[in-house]
Structure formats: C-alpha cells, structure tokens
C-alpha cells in the first residue's frame, strides 16, 4: 500500500535570524499545509536544508513535525546520507519518533556503482520496518539510480516501495514505469512534470510548489487521479511560470524568499546558501502575483 497518493510537500525548515530552527514558524507552516489540503509532509529533505542541520537538529525537526502533524497526514522523514552508517542511524531514530515513512536520497559525492547503491539502500531498509521511498536526484548527487536498480530494490526488499524521481529525464521515468509493471510507487520530484509523470502511472508529487500553493498542488494531483485529466493539465500549465521562478536559483533559496514575501517566514538560509539576487526576486514576485498567491 502506498505511503500516500497526491501532493506531498517537501517542507522548508524555518530559521530564526540567528540561524537556529524556528519551531513556532514550523508549526504555522505545518498548519498552513494541512489546511491547504496536502496529502503528506516530507520533512528534512533537500528543501528542508537537511545537509546543514546537525544530526541532533535533524532528528529534533522530525520529532517536532510528527508531534505537530499528530496523525492528520503521513509524515515522511528524509534520512538519507552518503554514509550508510549515518543513514541507518537517522532512519532508526526517525522510526522511533513516529514517522510514517522514510525518504532516502542516493549517496552523494561518493558516486556509488549500481551494486553499491543496491547494497546501501538494502542495508538501511533492513534496519527498519518503515516503508521507504528512494530519492533520485542526480543533478545534486552526481549519481543516477537506474530504473533496473529501482525495480530490483522494490522487488527484493519488502519495505522499499517507491521512488521520488527528480532526474528530469522523462524517457528514463517511462522506462522505469515499463520495467516496474506496478511494483514501484512513482512520485514526481519536479513540479513542472507532475502531469507527465502521473500519465506514466505515477501516484503523486513530492513538491516544492506546495510550500506556497498547497491547495493548488493538491488539485493538480487529485483532478488527475479522479479522471479529470484536462482539469489537471490546466492547473499544471497555469503553475509553470511560478515553477520556473521557484527554481531560478538553487532550491530552497527561491521558495524561502516566496514564503518571506507571503509573510510566513523571515527567509533566513544557512550558508553556503545565500540571499536571492534582486532580479530573480522581481521575477519571483511577479510570478506569485500572476498566480494569485501574493
């Protein structure tokens, strides 16, 4: 059974001006997402700046999110690492914290072989009982999880159930869907490809866009899943300019600025991420105004 169907938000981690995690704003964002109709919350992923959280902060943010959500929607915790031992540790602790599932990014920098990826993910999965989604984002990790490897893992390992596909390669995702024959829950990892991936048998998205437009992102998925393909496509196309603006600089710089413009957070980032360029802020603001969220 899928962890969730529809729109899961890859939620940001709000920071105070001094760089500490802002838990009060985090709770407010969680409520905004649930009220907006998101189908799951993905915490401590790329958008949540997990790479610059200490292990203690990382786990505290997961625990806080689980408590704040209080079972209203599934919470999927990002617990991946380029160190298998670290990924095992974070995954075990997230399971103890009450997370409903895990998201495991492929090991970055190491650039493991496909066999190495298989062993890494299987080792982590064998250490917990929670359902697991793989996360394929080669533009960040330098490592592509091939369709054959994804299918092999989902068939061999009971609690590896799907993949967040952010390779930006529709042909590869189509091949994955063909090889999987229903054995892999496929989620779009790119907001500008939600409908194309749903059309290939995907069941949802893990979304940056949902941070600022939870209801609209939910509708793109729900309309498609309900059979209203034309309505879903209209919503997808209407969001395209905003999707582009949200990725005109490296994620999560633009989405944190967008939430700041909406008055929801102060937009603080952790280095090495830096303040958004003025021209890009203007582009983002215009896209938000045209989309009707500012």
Q: Map residue 207 onto helix, strand or coil.
A: strand
Show the DSSP H helices in 55-146 as ranges. Answer: 55-69, 84-97, 114-126, 138-141
Tens digit of each residue's pLDDT (9 = 90 or more) over 197-238: 999 999 999 999 999 999 999 999 999 999 999 999 999 999
- Give yes or no: 187 in active site: no
Q: Map residue 209 onto helix, strand or coil.
A: helix
Among 164, 223, 256, 257, the one annotated catalytic: 164
Tens digit of each residue's pLDDT (9 = 90 or more) over 259-271: 999 999 999 999 9
Domain boundaries, the chain: 6-236
CA nearest neighbour of 40 among 131, 148, 173, 157: 131
Among 135, 187, 224, 291, the one annotated catalytic: 135
pLDDT given for residue 1 in this prediction: 77
Tens digit of each residue's pLDDT (9 = 90 or more) over 235-248: 999 999 999 999 99
Task: Give 171's pLDDT tier (boundaries 50, 70, 90).
Answer: very high
- Give yes or no: 111 in active site: no
Name the strand (E) or helix (H) holding 103: strand 101-105
Q: Which CATH number fits domain 6-236: 3.40.50.300, 3.90.180.10, 3.40.718.10, 3.20.20.70?
A: 3.20.20.70
């Amino acid at each position: 059974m899928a962890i969730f169907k529809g729109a899961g938000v890859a939620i940001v981690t709000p920071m105070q001006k001094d760089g500490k995690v802002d838990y009060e704003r985090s709770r407010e964002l969680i409520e905004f997402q649930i009220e907006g109709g998101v189908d799951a919350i993905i915490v401590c992923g790329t958008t949540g700046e997990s790479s610059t959280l200490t292990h203690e902060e990382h786990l505290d943010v997961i625990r806080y999110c689980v408590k704040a959500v209080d079972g209203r929607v599934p919470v999927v915790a990002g617990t991946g690492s380029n160190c298998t031992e670290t990924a095992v540790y974070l995954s075990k602790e997230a399971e103890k914290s009450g997370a409903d599932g895990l998201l495991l990014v492929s090991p970055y920098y190491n650039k493991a072989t496909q066999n190495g990826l298989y062993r890494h993910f299987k080792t982590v999965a064998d250490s917990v009982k929670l359902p697991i989604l793989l996360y394929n984002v080669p533009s960040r990790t330098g490592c592509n999880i091939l369709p054959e490897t994804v299918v092999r893992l989902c068939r061999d390992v009971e609690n590896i159930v799907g993949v967040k596909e952010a390779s930006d390669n529709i042909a590869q995702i189509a091949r994955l869907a063909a090889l999987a024959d229903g054995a892999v829950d496929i989620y779009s990892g790119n907001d500008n490809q939600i409908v194309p991936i749903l059309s290939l048998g995907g069941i949802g998205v893990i979304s940056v866009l949902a941070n600022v437009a939870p209801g609209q992102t939910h509708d793109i998925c729900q309309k498609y899943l309900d059979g209203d393909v034309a309505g879903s496509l209209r919503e997808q196309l209407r969001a395209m300019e905003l999707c582009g603006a949200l990725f005109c600089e490296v994620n999560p710089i633009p989405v944190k600025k967008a939430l700041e413009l909406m008055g929801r957070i102060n937009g603080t980032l952790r280095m090495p991420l830096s303040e958004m360029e003025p021209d890009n802020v203007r582009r983002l603001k215009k896209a938000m105004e045209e989309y009707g969220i500012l």
